[in-house]
Structure 1
């Protein structure tokens, strides 16, 4: 067995912990940029809705790996803030399609631009190939994680 593996895994854990801690702090900041009453965890949900355009609640719950009840409560909160809307699903009237409202999209895009500027500043000295490799490895890690 590779003798370096345990130390490299400890290093991955350390760096991942630092990234998650920093990510939580950024999530608080960016959530308040979107809306003062937005829960920090909701930014990721808004990101999925922005990328999807329109998606059924059950499909979004499956993608996020959360229960429909939990997601439904989060969506209700976002609807109450005027950031998300439900429209009847044309293929199944019993279901609804979720999407960002115009206001939700405007607020999300402004907050996202701020976050992307932060990421750009952090990576601006990296060669382009390193940034591409970093993105590829993060995607691979996230796919393997679940």
Structure 2
């Protein structure tokens, strides 16, 4: 007999959970996010290598943040990405050695430094980001513009929910 939603199934599980007690919507979300994240890591690695052959994949996200938000303190970047100060410091040193970022003393606090893209870093990032956007446009060519906007909105909401927990 099909459950119309008016009463819980006899085994106590909701329709979404089915007989196993596993919420199928969250199971599907977990599965799709796992595939998405694996592919995103691979793509970030490709983008990082396009920026510079010696650039670590994780560092590409730092460049995105600096390009979008402007110069920042290393501690703010570490907090944004949810990593330790030592990890951030190591990644920033590597980017600095590659000539992609520079550090300057924070005029508001002489003990702190602000990190920003160099002109070279900004130009390399612009080229790679343009190529990445073109790749997204090709992959989503069959989607309505509103669907792309909705996906971006939902991902923003997901990211915001995670930030609120940290």
Shift of 1:2: 4.0
Could you tell me which residue of structure 1 aligns to residue 62 of structure 2? 45
Shift of 1:86: 0.2
Could you tell me which residue of structure 2 aligns to residue 116 of structure 1? 133
- Larger helix share, 1 or 2: 1
Could you tell me which residue of structure 1 aligns to residue 151 of structure 2? 134
For normalisation by structure 2, the TM-score amounts to 0.84
Corresponding residue to 2:116 among 99, 108, 111: 99
For normalisation by structure 1, the TM-score amounts to 0.94
Runs of 4+ in 1 over 6 A off after TM superposition: none
Corresponding residue to 2:89 among 56, 72, 97: 72
Shift of 1:105: 0.7
CA deviation profile, 1:68-123 (whole Å, cap 9, x unmatched): 11101110010000001001111111111100000111111111111111111112
Matches of 1:15 and 1:48, distance apart in 2 = 25
Greater relative contact order (Cα < 8 A, sep 6+): 1
Matches of 1:78 and 1:22, distance apart in 2 = 23
Could you tell me which residue of structure 2 aligns to residue 3 of structure 1? 15
Aligned residues: 146
Matches of 2:159 and 2:15, distance apart in 1 = 25
Larger radius of gyration: 2
Aligned-CA RMSD value: 1.2
Matches of 1:130 and 1:90, distance apart in 2 = 44
Structure 2: runs of 5 or more not aligned: 1-12, 18-22
Shift of 1:3: 2.3
